[in-house]
Structure 1
């Protein structure tokens, strides 16, 4: 029996697994992502960010400071491809994805990273570089979180199911998130008609860009809570919550960047959530 104080959680989440690894990853993933979001709010940006050197006064990435430089396209591929391969490979590993929920989760993760890879190859426009020392931690983080999410789901085999089944709501939320994220990434790509190397920034228009600075982040958060509802594990919820914290920080930093860059930036445009945030 669950303690009475845990009954609400038991209604929507599987019992926490008897795994020190997954428990530690839940804490570390949430804390590190939330901390990164606070760093963004303070103006401490990652080296691949377009506003990294504009808001904070930091210098652009250099090979001496961050290791060898990759093209932004190669850096992003390094970030996403290992996680895509891990999600796809889980279907070939005997017993790794047992049951419909695990199969849908692994499929959703594969689709998520496949979309990212295809955007890197065919949608995004690039004007800079990424230090290898930045790309490798991002790649490792995505790979480890993907493996951990699938493993945490594997550990639910034989456990009592949550009394509230959020699987299909999660699938719908994931579909909305990935479609909205892709659409707004496409709109961003259209701002640079000159293709790769075009360094002219413009205020995004169309879609929810009319209301918020970062609708692509809003839909990214939506997709991650889709993962959490599909999975209904503590780890997936920790990842979704941490990702939300990080992207909230990124959204406010991005809005601040646009206000610094463009005097005509509309004051009524929010950072992430229309009319609210």
Structure 2
């Protein structure tokens, strides 16, 4: 019963060993990364970058995060020139997401340190492989029966809401540091009064929007995996703030307002 209901919302899984394996690997690896964050084993960027690790400058590292995935999104328009409206919107959304992130790295973010080289490679490869697999899975879905429930337009709305909310809270974070200040402060404004990681919250909405646009098995496993990672990372972030600031508000959650 549950499986038949789920199948109303997604394309039938294409006969592809690659996308099947990537669906399992992506969800499992992201969930494991989130659990590692809870256990105190962090990806080495932002406030969790250790001084003992070999580093690259933060701006360079973040550009390396997003640039390969952005280029993969752009390349897909030449590799798969046709594919219909859903495929066009999916590739556009993915490319726009990473283009926005690159612009934020260049024009918005304020940096205070470096990033671990190994974490930079892992994150960059993860974004690139996820982008390639999202696009390839959608390509394989051409000709398959359309899902009975079309989530394309709700997905577009969620994507735009998530992107706007994520950008707004990145702006608020950047305003915390003025005149070369590198100290961490308790963020304020927007949803920071409810959760310590509203930028993750809105990015999760953005990714759920992409999975609604796509409606493939891989896109669903990918967005689930990302959400599990954000839950772990935001929990670790809240724990870090409570350890550094005695006046950190107890009612401010980690990721989801009033819930978690």
Task: Work out the CA distance in 2 between the residues paired with 1:94 and 1:251.
Answer: 37
Aligned mates of 1:46, 1:31 — CA distance in 2: 16
- Kindly indicate whether residue 229 of structure 2 is the aligned counterpart of residue 276 of structure 1: no
C-alpha deviation, 1:239, in angstroms? 0.6
Whether 2:56 is the aligned partner of 1:70: answer yes
Tell whether the 8 Å contact from 2:46 to 2:115 is kept in structure 1 after alignment. Answer: no
Alignment of 1:214-233 (within 5 A): 214-233=197-216
The residue aligned with 1:153 is 138
**Quick one: distance in 2 between partners of 1:73 and 1:154?**
33
Partner of 1:60: 51
- Secondary structure in 2 matching 1:91: helix
Query: Conserved in 1, the CA contact under 8 Å of 2:151 and 2:213?
Result: yes
Show the counterpart of 1:248: 231
* Deviation at residue 5 of structure 1 after TM alignment: 5.6
CA deviation string 1:28-60 (max 9, x = no partner): 0000000000111111111113035xxxxxx42
CA distance in 2, matches of 1:143, 1:217: 19
Match of 1:85 among 63, 66, 71: 71
Deviations, residues 89-146 of structure 1 (Å, cap 9, x unaligned): 1111144x50100100000000000010000000111111123322122111111110
Q: Write out per-residue CA displacement over residues 165-213 of structure 1, whole angstroms, 9 at most, x where no aligned residue.
A: 0000000000000100010011001111124xx3211100000001111
Give 2:241's aligned residue.
Answer: 258
Is contact 2:46-2:113 (8 Å) kept? no
Equivalent residue for 1:236? 219
Does residue 168 of structure 2 align to residue 194 of structure 1? Answer: no
When the two structures are superposed, what TM-score results if normalisation uses the length of structure 2? 0.97
Matched, 1:205 2:196: no
Counterpart CA distance in 2 for 1:168 and 1:81 is 27
Once residues 43 and 8 of structure 2 are traced to their aligned partners in structure 1, the CA distance between those partners, rounded to angstroms, is 38
Structure 1 SS opposite 2:44: coil
- Shifted more, 133-142 versus 246-255: the winner is 133-142
| 2:29 matches 1:46 | no
CA distance in 2, matches of 1:70, 1:268: 36
Question: CA–CA distance in 2 between the matches of 1:49 and 1:72?
Answer: 8
Instruction: Name the SS for the 1:85 alignment partner.
Output: helix
SS at match of 2:79: coil
Residues 170 and 230, structure 1, Cα contact 8 Å, conserved in 2: yes
Q: Are the equivalent residues in 2 in contact too, given 1:47–1:61 (CA < 8 A)?
A: no
Distance 1:5 1:44 in 2: 35
